[in-house]
């Protein structure tokens, strides 16, 4: 994927409803940095004020829209943090696991081939990441991530260089994913763009897709949907992105979703 070169435009009030024009909507929402603020304490990344309420309000209108949470986290973790678990679609681990509103889940095919490489990388991290220096190893079912937001910059830079090399030595079957102050090793072929493709295939009536996210890992769905949906970057306007529009923070996104819910009520 070539790097984006343009800055997203501010999302105008009312545009989500205007663009819907009576069509069924599939609203895909990243979690960390999109519905919650980024926090070093991974288990305390709760939704910003009003996020749960507006999601519940939209979920209660299946005639008009479906809601999907598309996250790098495991589904059971993000469901617990969000506090809304019924009536939604979930794509966890960058699309490696999918769950429908009926609660049934399925895994991406051919994950078994990545298990030995993931085990080797987990062992490598245990041996090479110093304790008490601000690093956080996030162990997931089908991936492993190193967060270095609180680590000293020179130490983080050196360790990330070594980690990139280690993941490269295990590729395939693993690939490197880089986000905001985090490096993650995933089974090859997994990304949020593929997750959105799978969700669009599950939701009936050829919905208009809306995708909102904040991180580099959200660029794949931004590019995928650039010509066929609405894409919204949550955060800094200074970052070039494939997204068409932007909002300043999760609170502004919640405000725009609340506007949409109110419009759907009329």
Domain residue limits, the chain: 9-108+190-265, 112-187
> What integer pLDDT is reported at residue 259 of this predicted model?
95
> What integer pLDDT is reported at residue 22 of this predicted model?
80
Per this entry, what is the length of the chain? 266
> What integer pLDDT is reported at residue 204 of this predicted model?
80
Catalytic residue among 30, 32, 74, 218: 30
* pLDDT under 70: residue ranges of the chain: 1-2
- Annotated active-site residue 205? The verdict is no
The CATH-assigned architecture of domain 112-187 is: Alpha-Beta Complex (3.90)
> What integer pLDDT is reported at residue 1 of this predicted model?
57
Assign a CATH topology to domain 9-108+190-265. Rossmann fold (3.40.50)
Q: Are 218 and 242 spatial neighbours (Cβ–Cβ below 8 Å)?
A: no
Give residue for tokens 């009576």.
22
> What integer pLDDT is reported at residue 144 of this predicted model?
96
> What integer pLDDT is reported at residue 30 of this predicted model?
97
The residues, ordered by sequence, that sit 6+ positions from 244 with a Cβ below 8 Å of its Cβ are: 8, 9, 226, 230, 231, 232
> What integer pLDDT is reported at residue 2 of this predicted model?
67
> What integer pLDDT is reported at residue 178 of this predicted model?
92
């Amino acid at each position: 994927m070539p790097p984006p070169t343009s800055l997203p435009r501010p999302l105008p009030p009312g545009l989500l409803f205007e663009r819907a024009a009576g069509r069924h909507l599939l609203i895909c929402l990243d979690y960390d940095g999109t519905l919650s603020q980024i926090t070093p304490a991974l288990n305390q990344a709760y939704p910003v004020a009003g996020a749960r309420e507006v999601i519940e309000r939209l979920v209660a209108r299946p005639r008009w829209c479906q809601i999907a949470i598309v996250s790098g986290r495991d589904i059971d973790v993000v469901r617990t943090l969000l506090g809304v678990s019924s009536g939604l679609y979930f794509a966890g681990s960058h699309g490696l696991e999918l769950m429908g509103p009926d609660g049934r889940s399925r895994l991406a095919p051919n994950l078994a081939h990545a298990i030995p490489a993931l085990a080797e990388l987990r062992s490598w991290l245990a041996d090479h990441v110093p304790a008490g220096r601000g690093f956080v190893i996030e162990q997931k079912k089908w991936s492993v991530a190193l967060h270095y937001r609180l680590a000293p910059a020179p130490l983080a830079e050196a360790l990330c260089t070594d980690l990139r090399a280690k993941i490269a030595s295990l590729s395939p079957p693993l690939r490197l994913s880089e986000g905001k102050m985090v490096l993650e090793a995933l089974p090859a072929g997994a990304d949020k763009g593929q997750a959105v493709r799978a969700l669009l295939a599950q939701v009936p009536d050829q919905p208009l897709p809306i995708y909102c996210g904040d991180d580099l890992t959200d660029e794949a769905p931004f590019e995928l949907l650039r010509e066929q949906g609405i894409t919204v970057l949550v955060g800094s306007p200074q970052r070039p992105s494939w997204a068409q529009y932007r909002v300043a923070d999760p609170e502004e996104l919640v405000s725009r979703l609340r506007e949409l819910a109110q419009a759907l009520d009329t």
